[in-house]
Amino acid sequence: MAESYQPFDPKKIPSDVIISGGTASNIKKYQGSNLVNIYSSDIATPNENRLLQDFEGFTADYRKSLSQKLKAAGYYRGDVTGKPTLKLQEAYFDAYIDLSDANRGRLSAYAGDPNQAYNVQLDNLETFLTKQDTGGGDGDGGFNVIQQQRKYSPDTIEATIDKVFRDLTGSGASKAQIAKYTKNIQKQLADPKNLAQTEYKDMGGGVQRQIVTEAAFTPESYLIEEVSKGDPAKASSVMGFYEVFNKFIGRG
């Protein structure tokens, strides 16, 4: 750890820099007959490109362990996986942003007075996620979750099935196909892992963060994938149309 006789000023760390761990201290020691402040700091500040490189370079086993920890801490919704999925990557970055905010707050609180003795050990991602683990019952770092299940009337589901069939095959869906896909859609809509949710997370210091996660399932995308099996180009074309349409009507 490099020593410096200059006070460490956390305000000099740019606001957009991620603080991912490290230490900062002000220890009073005698040099001869004089009591002096010896400042020391070793603060880790990786940029987003470095974090992305690390994420992509993780082994599948480590990434699987990370996804479990992010899920337990309320950042990740989905299956525990060793794959570098976009959803897992977003949760990874979200956790780092919160970690950085927490570390910045600790530095500001302890290292604000250059004459006050302090020894600050900052959290890294592992220790931070452990503290945020919602499996504990002490209420620290906890959050409330509100899940939203979208309901569709049978007529709406039937119309959606028929429209996707017409867009992809040129003809409407049969009664048997409507019955089959209606049952599958209703099952998927009720699956807890597919529900939209809003989390209200206690960040400490009287701050509460609202985290909104969109529903992981939509009837249109499910039907397009099912009906267009074997023709990915057509599926991509139709999916693009639905995305534009949903944004136009305020659903995307």
Domain ranges of the chain: 1-134, 142-244
CB neighbours (10 Å) of residue 111? Answer: 22
pLDDT band at 137 (very low <50, low <70, confident <90, very high): very low
pLDDT at 147 over 80: no
Q: What is the pLDDT of residue 230?
A: 52
Q: What are 191-226's pLDDT values in tens digits? A: 877 788 777 666 655 566 677 777 778 888 888 888
Angle at 187 between CA 225 and CA 92, to 5 degrees: 65
Average pLDDT over residues 234-252: 47
Q: Is 183 helix (H, G, I), strand (E, B) or coil?
A: helix
Q: What are 30-71's pLDDT values in tens digits? A: 767 776 777 778 888 888 888 899 999 999 999 999 999 998
Where does residue 56 rank: exposed (0-12), middle (13-18), buried (19+ CB within 10 A)? exposed
Q: What is the pLDDT of residue 140?
A: 42
pLDDT at 157 over 70: yes
- Could you list the beta-strand ranges (E) of 5-149: 21-31, 34-44, 118-122, 143-148
- In terms of DSSP bridges, do strands 34-44 and 21-31 run parallel, antiparallel, or are they unpaired? antiparallel
Comparison of pLDDT for 5 and 166, the residue scoring more: 166
Distance, CA of 131 to CA of 119 (rounded, Å) = 20
**Nearest to residue 156, comparing CAs of 176, 177, 180, 185?**
185
pLDDT band at 181 (very low <50, low <70, confident <90, very high): very high
